[in-house]
Amino acid sequence: MDDDMPFDIKQTYLKFLEEDPQLTMPVAAIQSLVALLADAQPKTSAELIEVLQEASQTLKDSVPNSISLSAGSDLFLRFVVRNIHDYSDWEACKRNLVENGRTFAERAKESRSLIARLGLPFVRDNDIILVHGRSRAVHQLLELAASKHVRFQVYVTEARVCAEGQIAAAAFRKLGIPTCMIPDSSVGYVIPKVHKVFLGAEGVAESGGVINQIGSSQVVMLAHQFKKPVFVLAESHKFVRLFPLSSDDLTTETPYTFTTTETEEFDPANGPQIDFTPHKYITALITDLGVLTPSGVSEELIKIWFG
Amino acid sequence: MSAKGDINVQIAAFTAQLQRREISGSRAVALATAHLISRFVSSRRWPTADDLINQVKRLGRELEKAQPHELACGNIIRRILKSIRTVDETVELVEAVDDRERRSSMFGILSVPGSGDKSTDHMRSRDLKAAVIEDIQVLIEEIGNEEPLQRVGTEMINDNEVILTPCPRSVTLLDFFLKVAQKRSFTVLVTECYPNGVEDAKMFAERLTKAGIRTEILPDATVNAVMSKVSKVIISPRTVLANGGVIASSGMALPCLAAKNFNKPVLVFAGSYKLSLLYPFDVERLIEVGNSGKVIDFADADLMDKLEVTNPLCDYLGPELLDIIITTDGGHPPNFMYRIVLDNYSTQDQIL
């Protein structure tokens, strides 16, 4: 790092994300906070907490979609606060954290492969699976299933606005999985033929509901209507202490607006990027802590915040 | 040496009993399995806990192969494996705590790796043996003692209720009704469970009438018609699965669907030995198919020749059909079962 420049948490965060495309936002947030710890050298524990709180707030404010990120930074702050009181030798613990900064990313990847292992029995021969958007956890699971010679087919939605469906479909085809790309508007058309729906998550709310790429909630509600099981694959560090009741409760910089005049050309990207899927539509969450029902999420959160 | 030969004979006898279905019913199988393993642990030689775990696992594989549809056997073996692990761990607690927190909490990715070298100072096998056998004794007592289950259940029955129990054959349920009858008066409707459980249902009804409980036997097809006057449905399944769904005798799904339609509560009674860590990935594989001669007599050769007759012995009921699952440690909503499964079993033992 450039010694003359003052430490910039946002730049550090973006750099981590850029360097490793496999890195998720919460882990990048944790790593940037660790990098800050190494740089800031706080003298007292109170100062340390203050520095971290300030930095995580700055980080949350400076990124447009901060829910996923805040899951990581909140988890890290909670970890620090708990361990300051638990360990007498905080210095050693801090040193350890800084030295092990890199391993967090490794462990996050490990938890993704654990999810794939736990999720493997959910993928069966002759299954037709619907996947919305691109998710690293879903990709890893299907990759594992394909490598075990499970014969299944995948519908991938275009997942417009983020439009990552194309990338996901290409990746599945490369793994030799028969893949069919469909526009988001055809989900209702294919859903009777689908056996199960797999989703990733940006964040998992306290209720067990899921914050994910926009379009997820409509896909899931259609699946629910046709009684198709919906499985969400998410690492436990994405559990976040939010309790949204609808997609409306998630802040967005670009809300939809009503106009009577033709203002500018219609741009679908100019709208919310994420939506919220209520827990009642979700069959199970496949996480590194095991296969949980949505109510299990609040239990895990309670364990670390009030346990 | 003679003790070792003795245990092998016992294992062979039990396996044969399972294969020929001379021993059936979850409670009986659970008890027999627990007793067998208790003797197995005390008669075998094993230097470390890991050896013991491997030996018990091998035995478990044999027993599961003998009767793949009787899950109670596997459940008990996994419970005992978990208790062996717990007993063994208490010694290495200090070393293990780091590792365990890492795997079982959201702090997983953050925790700092422990000191590294794991202590090999296991509990001496003699102490381990005593502790494990004591645990198995506790388990055996738990299987036999359904008082807590009856206590919780009694609170849920009111005077003058009409209770529907489709296809009953469970001892747990019979004992429960006899117990409640001492305190409350109620009516029990029993479906006859054609073709597989007719005898059992009749016997069940007979036992209830003898105890002075008003009992009626209904044909299976009438459940929807009577559902409006039923106040609750009580079932005792074969197995409770990790997602809160259950595998029950065939003929139970229909009354539960009717109950849902009329918004009547469905209560599930299950001893904790019925709790399995299976998730119903493939429902068809969990459903046992039985003698089709019970549906159409083989003597009716003309018909048998032209038809394909199947006789599934079980139904799968999803968690959405059930309202509460009452086990020996209280009543739980179906979507909480995964937690009890995680508490009772170790995920390492999923496949024996």
Band of pLDDT at residue B146, cut at 50, 70 and 90 = confident
Query: Counting beta carbons within 10 angstroms of the beta carbon of residue A129, is it exposed (0 to 12), middle (13 to 18) or buried (19 or more)?
Result: buried
**Mean pLDDT over each residue of chain A, to the nearest integer:** 87
Put simply, whether A300 touches B (Cβ < 8 Å) is yes
Ramachandran class of A75: left when φ > 0, alpha when ψ lies in -120 to 50, beta otherwise: alpha
User: Where along chain A do its domains lie?
Assistant: 9-99, 111-305
Percent of chain B residues topping a pLDDT of 70: 90
Which is higher by pLDDT, B92 or A133?
A133
**pLDDT per residue as tens digits for the range B28-44:** 999 999 999 999 988 88
Are A293 and B108 a contacting pair at CB < 8 A? Answer: no
The alpha-carbon gap from B24 to the nearest alpha carbon of chain A, in Å, equals: 29
The yes-or-no verdict on residue A4 having pLDDT over 70 is no
Q: Which of B106, B281, B338 sits opposite A239 (nearest CB)?
A: B106
pLDDT at A86: 65
CA atoms of B117 and B149, how far apart (whole Å): 45
> Does any CB of chain A come closer than 8 Å to the CB of residue B108?
yes
Closest CB to B338: pick one of A27, A122, A291. A291
Q: What domains does chain B contain, in order, with CATH numbers?
A: 2-144 (1.20.120.420), 147-349 (3.40.50.10470)
* DSSP bridge pairs for A197: A130, A230
Nearest chain A residue to B318 by CA: give it.
Answer: A283
User: Percent of chain B scored above 90 by pLDDT?
Assistant: 46
Q: Each residue of A40-98: pLDDT tens digit?
A: 777 777 888 888 899 999 998 888 888 888 888 888 888 888 777 666 666 777 777 77
Which of 5-24 (A) contact B at CB < 8 A?
Answer: none
Nearest by CB: B112 against A93, A124, A294: A93
User: pLDDT-derived band of residue B351, with 50, 70 and 90 as boundaries?
Assistant: confident
pLDDT in tens, B273-312: 999 988 887 788 888 888 888 888 888 888 888 888 899 9
CATH 3.40.50.300 correct for A111-305: no
Considering only residues 225 to 264 of chain B, which have any Cβ-Cβ distance to chain A shorter than 8 Å?
242-244
Taking the CA of residue B316 and the nearest CA in chain A, the distance in Å comes to 15
Q: Which comes out higher in pLDDT, residue B108 or B330?
A: B330
H-helix segments, B155-270: 171-181, 198-210, 223-226, 253-261
Q: Which residue has the higher pLDDT, B211 or A105?
A: B211
The number of beta carbons lying within 10 Å of the beta carbon of residue A293 is 24
A143-174 burial, b if ≥16 CB within 10 A, otherwise e? bbbbeeebebbbbbbbbbbbebbeebbebbee
Instruction: Identify the pLDDT of residue B117.
Output: 40
SS3 B247: strand
- Confidence band (pLDDT; 50, 70, 90) for B125? low
> How many residue pairs from chains A and B have C-beta atoms closer than 8 A?
68
